[in-house]
Amino acid sequence: MSKQTPASQRDWDKEFEEYLNENKTLAYMMLKKSEEFADSDALTQKVNGEWISIKWRDFGEQIRAVAKALLEMDILQPGEMAGIFSANRIEWAVADLGILATRAVCVPIYATNSAEEAEYIVNDAEIKILFVGDQEQYNRSKKIIAGNAYLKKIVAFDRNIKIDGNDSMYFDEILAMGRSSTQDAKLQERLNTVNPNDMLTLIYTSGTTGAPKGAIHTHRSFMNGIYPSYMRFPGVGPQHVSLAILPLSHVFERMWSYGCMSAGVRIAYCPDPKQFVDVMAAIQPQFMTSVPRIWEKVYGTIHEGLKTAPPAKVKMFNWATRVGIEVYRNKLAGKSSGPWLRAQHALADALIMKKVRQKLGTERCNVYHIGGAAFAAEINEFFQAFGINIIQGYGLTEFFPVCVGFDDNGKPGACGTMIPMCQMRISEEGEIQLKGGMCMSGYHKKPEATAACFTDDGWFKTQDVGILSVDTKEGEPFTYVRITDRIKDLIITAGGKNISPQQIEMLLGEELFIEQFVTIGEGKKYITALVVPNFVILEDYCKNHGIEFSAREDLVRNPEVLKLYEDIIAKRTESLGRVEQIKKFTLLTQELTQEGGELTPTMKLKRKQINEKYRNQIDKMYEE
């Protein structure tokens, strides 16, 4: 099919079936790609301070070695579960595809999960072999394996992990076993009998409202998400690189990485988001997936730096920003910018914008996908004006993807555009509902929960509240969705007002003085907040302004500090209606964490748990 053929005129179902017949499953496809792109770099990561890469040829050889070793060990039968409990790294991808090549199922566990959280997944999925990334994950896995009915073997990726017992081995031993194995014929038999309807993975939901649920995805459902997305990027190949900064345990990064691999795009791994700026500068990726928080902080850092910059530099930066935004808005509206504005824009780009892009490592940006939470239109527009094409997408663990940005089709404040082969509607209650082949088969061992998330006529109920809009560009319709809130997150005050906590929290996202912000008010007379300060920034501020303190407890009670945060919150939320205004707030001394039970592995707020844990502080804000 020619790339010039309008998307609305293509027979997507026929194309996809041809794609599926050719590629069969993810593992089958990647082994084919390892021959097609043999001499190109496949994967990149930093080891002992140096960036290293492996070729596609070696990637394919290692996948086969892992698969043959698993057949040699005879632990897994087709359809049975193996797990990966690790941060992003080359071995993660090798183990994943090696597992899949045997027709077994790969179940990721977030690297930050506690032993108890990991054990829940091991037991629910009945995981038999677990690959682990570091000493902490190994130690947690050893606690699990003792007397466990399912888990039989732990494989440590690194040689510097201290292991003990017959239940543990190293990854290089797995590779050696596979390389000396005589299981080639059996592996080929497994590959020849693959079925797109084979289960590929269980991806566990973040558990904001209870125990995590394992969403069942098949090779077909993943490839049904990849195909219409990847077809939006003709010409993409081994000359491009995608930075994997989100955990591979998450559907967003895992499926996007698979899609990139299917085109030969090199994947570079960033194991720690705190290294984001340095890694971006080193890799200079054309593609990446990320969450709003990363870009909110970059935006906040840029504008905080302007506060101490020379007036002339600030004036020039603000001028460049105004020019960039005007040009971007004209482009978005389909209008041309006049010669004078174009000349100003060329100068602004040379003097300011290009330097910002170089500093951030975004000079080669094609599109940076963003998801997982609402992204402020103002911040999105700023980066677009500076030539950094950040587009908000949309999808869920159970149904992924829905919206994938490409070219210049982003629209700040909206997720877009919806991919082919996906249908969307809005219910009478305002809920977004979806239908398409990228939907999960159901929740593992949870038929009631599965039934509850579908309508009687078979549409998936997202629990997201949103608004659809359709734009036409060069005769093609493009569907966008604006997510306004989560149904379960909506705060209903004592006065019966529906308040969107996420919309309030988004306004504070780029504020450098605030690390975390939680909106409170369910069943209450007014809205309050729990605020975790950015103590690094706050402590510097206090030292520079002569505010004495010896501990965080001093800071959060200091009248000057409280006035500082009162002013920040008031300014950031001045656009809100009266009933949405923050009437009172409490500064907390400790960050909200996954270990503390306040956050999910994807850093989403567990609102119920937060309300329970901080009940005393919340109650004090409502004392008359």
* Other beta carbons within 10 Å of 28: 20
- Residue 386 is encoded by which pair of tokens? 């500076």
CB atoms within 10 A of CB 528: 21
Amino acid code (one letter) for 615: R
Task: List the beta strands (DSSP E) in 168-259.
Answer: 168-170, 199-204, 214-218, 241-244
Residues of the chain with CATH 3.40.50.12780: 25-194+232-272
Instruction: Give every residue of the chain whose pLDDT is below 70, as ranges.
Output: 1-4, 207-209, 624
d(CA 33, CA 226): 15
CA–CA gap between residue 361 and residue 280 (Å, rounded): 5
Burial class of residue 173 in the structure, from the number of CB atoms within 10 Å of its CB (0-12 exposed, 13-18 middle, 19+ buried): middle
| Alpha-carbon dihedral angle through residues 69, 74, 76, 78, given to the nearest 10 degrees | 100
Give the whole-angstrom CA distance, residue 30 versus residue 101.
10
Write down the residue that tokens 């061992």 correspond to: 445
| Residues comprising the chain, all counted | 624
CA-based nearest residue to 497, from 517, 520, 522, 519: 522
- Tokens 């990027």 -> residue: 233
What is the DSSP code string of 48-113?
Answer: TTEEEEEEHHHHHHHHHHHHHHHHHHT---TT-EEEEES-S-HHHHHHHHHHHHTT-EEEEE-TT-
Instruction: Say which CATH superfamily domain 25-194+232-272 falls into.
Output: ANL, N-terminal domain (3.40.50.12780)
Fold of 491-621: GMP Synthetase; Chain A, domain 3 (3.30.300)
Read off the tokens for 480. 């966008």
Residue type, 92: W
What's the pLDDT at 602?
81
Do 317 and 412 form a contact (C-beta atoms < 8 A)? no
Cis check for the bond before 339: say yes or no (omega within 30 of 0).
Answer: no
Structure tokens at 85: 């409990």
In our burial notation (b when 16+ CB lie closer than 10 A, e otherwise), range 547-583 reads: bebeebeebbebeebeebbeebbeebbeeeeeebebe
Where in the chain do CATH 3.30.300.30 domains reside? 491-621
Q: Please work out, in degrees rounded to the nearest 5, the angle formed at the alpha carbon of residue 51 by the alpha carbons of 50 and 56.
A: 140
Distance CA 304, CA 318 (A): 13
* Structure-derived torsion over alpha carbons of residues 187, 191, 192, 194, reported in degrees to the nearest 10: 140
Give the C-alpha separation, 206 to 108, whole Å.
12
Answer yes or no: are the C-beta atoms of 66 and 96 closer than 8 Å: no
Which DSSP letter does residue 351 get?
I
pLDDT of residue 209: 63
Long-range contacts of 276-283, Cβ-Cβ distance < 8 Å, separation of 24 or more: 276/245, 277/360, 277/361, 279/46, 279/243, 279/245, 279/361, 280/243, 280/360, 280/361, 280/362, 281/359, 281/360, 281/361, 282/51, 282/361, 283/44, 283/241, 283/243, 283/361
**Listed residue (155, 4, 139, 152) closest to 69, CA to CA:** 155
